[in-house]
Structure 1
Amino acid sequence: MTDDLDTPVLDNHLHLDPRHGRGIDAVDDFARLGGTHLLVVNKPSWLLGVDVEEPADFQAVFEETIDAVDAATDALPGRAWPVLGVHPGLVNRLVDDRGFSPEEARDLMCGGIDVASEFVDAGRALALKSGRPHYDVSDAVWEASNAVTRRAFERAAEIGCAVQLHTEASEDLTDLAAVAESVGLDPTNVVKHYAAGRLAGPIPSVMSEKDRLKRAAESDEPFLMETDFVDDPDRPGMVLGPKTVPRRVRWMLESGYEDAVRRAHVETPAAVYGIDTEATLEA
């Protein structure tokens, strides 16, 4: 039985791992509580057992994510879309664990972004994912990571898609918005995942905790909602569960934030990604 909320309900950033995690069971939980749409981000390559040596090695990661999205779409009253890219944490695995230079890591990761871009350009994925580490790194690794992010912006500008960013915790990322603008990508097509309630620069994809959502709802600015569900059986309590976004939407509606719900689940997805969460919702 579905808990109908009478609105599209989009989780903007979560992971699905049918091989190791809950997979479609997590999608069923989301849908039962009233969830309708998902943006599924590929898990970091190494967590799917892929130690990349060349850009083509990312293809297996992306194909597995697309398969999970297809299964999720079958289980949803709306649909799911893939967001593909290279997790910025890969740079340290390459440099610290595998002996790559920061420049070699940069080039491999840029190549992964190029491969992801081909999927988007072919209509098989919706957006790109990139960013920089959220922890302290050397200047050379920071520079390499920013170069990878810039490549994602360049490719997104070329093919006309959005970019989801994994970055350090901040309420001011105008530096990255300026980089996007400098290569022809509108900053309104740049999304910071795991955001607080307000953000200068990119569009915030707000972690669905009540205090953060209250700030976002009262700001009158565009925002999205997410859980960053990791779907890892070894880390069952990591981040937020798949039921969280529909539960928070219900709380927002009960709290008088109807306009904010529409902004997060209809208007902002349309503006950022060009998706119509109402037209893709079954009656």
Structure 2
Amino acid sequence: MEIEETPVLDNHLHLDPVQGRNTEAAEEFADHGGTHLLVLNKPSWHLVEAATDEGTFREAFDLTVEAVADATDVLPGRAWPVLGVHPALISRLVDEGYTPEEARDIMQAGLDVAAEYVTDGPALAIKSGRPHYDVDDDVWAASNEVMRHGFALAADGEFAIQLHTEGGEDFEAVAQWAEAEGLDRRQVVKHYSGGRLRGPTKSVLADKDEIETAIEEDDPFFLETDYIDDPERPGAVLGPKTVPRRVRWLLENGQDDAVRTACVETPKAVYGIDTEATLAD
């Protein structure tokens, strides 16, 4: 199979309509064979300011929704927004004098707004998680409460949730928390994952070794770059051309089934999207 014959999905990429390349990055993705993007809003303080109220969350979300619409115009397929609250917000709020409990309430309110954007139409899923760095026990506890609130929202609205968390391979407990809230663990997506993961669905950073591990594990997976669209860090984390290049590499090595898993079957199972039909359109 040739790359022109398949959808090519990057499951986690950022576009910055304020100071980044924005649509130009989506064009670069498309020029190298990419067709579909899931675009995560950048942390509110990168677009507007550290959110402390519903209005600021909406402002950041609206900027991302507009960026996604512009990206869709240049893609052979389309882009979808995934909106939520970056878990590092809790540290910013605590540093500004909020208690962990007050920060938790602000972040849960932000997730409530993100869930509205899914149920009302423009967004596909929400994002939550917990800090990937060491924090005090009370901040950790509050962060887990924020994440579990996200699980409850996703279960109630019957949509998926992407997680930004610490590294590691064993997130079985997190998947069980999601199930306790009524959410299918397949609809919990661990962003920035390695090729081996227990619990949620893995979104594998597009490193060749990790992709090979994911194929060996034979579980559903996505590919992602976590491109951050920061002009001061132009290739971080991976550039927008990376997933198309990895898909081409997989096809050249006879891994057609792996490409179908990452770009067609897992998106359909987790998000309910049809990357083939939207490519045909």
Q: TM-score range by the shorter chain?
A: over 0.9
Q: 1:21 maps to which residue?
A: 20
- 1:201: Cα distance to partner? 0.2
Q: 2:185 maps to which residue?
A: 187
- 1:237: Cα distance to partner? 3.0
**Unpaired runs of 5+ in structure 2?**
none
**CA offsets 1:14-72 (integer angstroms, 9 cap, x no match):** 00012201111111110011100000000000011223222332000000000000001
Q: 1:261 maps to which residue?
A: 259
Moved over 4 A (4+): none
**CA offsets 1:212-244 (integer angstroms, 9 cap, x no match):** 001112221100000000001112232100000
- Pick one of 95, 103, 121 that aligns with 1:105: 103
- Letter paired with 2:242: T
Q: 1:78 maps to which residue?
A: 77
Q: 1:232 maps to which residue?
A: 230
Q: Secondary structure at the match of 1:280?
A: helix
- Pick one of 199, 202, 207 that aligns with 2:200: 202
Q: Secondary structure at the match of 1:5?
A: helix
Write the distance in 1 (CA, Å) between the matches of 2:48 and 2:109. 19
Identity of aligned residues (%): 61
TM-score by length of 2: 0.98
- 1:251: Cα distance to partner? 0.5
Is contact 2:48-2:60 (8 Å) kept? no
Is contact 1:14-1:230 (8 Å) kept? yes
**CA offsets 1:67-89 (integer angstroms, 9 cap, x no match):** 00000111100000000000001
Is contact 1:56-1:115 (8 Å) kept? no
Q: 1:34 maps to which residue?
A: 33
Write the distance in 2 (CA, Å) between the matches of 1:157 and 1:121. 12
Write the distance in 2 (CA, Å) between the matches of 1:169 and 1:20. 29
Is contact 1:55-1:109 (8 Å) kept? no
Q: 2:173 maps to which residue?
A: 175
Write the distance in 2 (CA, Å) between the matches of 1:113 and 1:156. 10
Write the distance in 2 (CA, Å) between the matches of 1:215 and 1:20. 36
Write the distance in 2 (CA, Å) between the matches of 1:166 and 1:4. 30
**CA offsets 1:136-179 (integer angstroms, 9 cap, x no match):** 10000000100000010000001110000001001110111000
- Pick one of 240, 248, 254 that aligns with 1:242: 240
Q: 1:49 maps to which residue?
A: 48
- Letter paired with 1:86: V
Is contact 2:50-2:89 (8 Å) kept? no
- Letter paired with 1:8: P
Aligned residues: 280
**CA offsets 1:177-210 (integer angstroms, 9 cap, x no match):** 0000001000000000000001100000000010
Q: 1:152 maps to which residue?
A: 150
- Pick one of 252, 275, 278 that aligns with 2:276: 278
**Unpaired runs of 5+ in structure 1?**
none
Query: Pairwise CA RMSD of aligned residues?
Result: 1.1
Q: 2:211 maps to which residue?
A: 213
Q: 1:61 maps to which residue?
A: 60
Q: 2:9 maps to which residue?
A: 10
- 1:4: Cα distance to partner? 4.8
- Letter paired with 1:269: P
Write the distance in 2 (CA, Å) between the matches of 1:95 and 1:136. 14
